Amino acid sequence: MSGFRVKLDENLAASHQQLLRERGYQADSVRDQGLAGSSDDVLWSRVVAEGRFLVSLDLDFSDVRRFKPGTHPGILLVRARQPSASAVGEVLRRVLDERQLEDLAGCLAVADERGTRVRRPFEGE
């Protein structure tokens, strides 16, 4: 899992970035790159250009018509019941305990406290 490149959207905390780094991921934050407040289009262009797997809370990235699985590096949407950093961290930790993010490359995954739903490339076509 070493070196898998991840980008955290601005709605994730420094503690989430640290968790990913502790698990061996190369995690960069939108805030660290001066992209906070950028449109989804600007962020997405950067994610794709850098070949990074996106971790976000933003439901806009759940549109499989716009972000079709198999056409991008991958997206993990964290859907914690509470918007707190600790609740989001618990969901992210659960995902990381269950799988490597590399296994979600090219997919759209939506994770909450109970599980992770994965939409893989070409599913349902």
- Convert the pLDDT of each residue in 33-67 to its tens digit: 888 889 989 999 999 999 999 999 999 999 999 99
Among the listed residues 42, 39, 34, 46, the one whose alpha carbon sits nearest the alpha carbon of residue 5: 46
What's the pTM? 0.93
Q: Is the model's pLDDT at 2 over the cut of 60?
A: no
Among the listed residues 22, 81, 83, 74, the one whose alpha carbon sits nearest the alpha carbon of residue 51: 74
Residue 100's pLDDT is 96
Residue 117's pLDDT is 97
pLDDT tens track for 88-119? 999 999 999 999 999 999 999 999 999 999 99
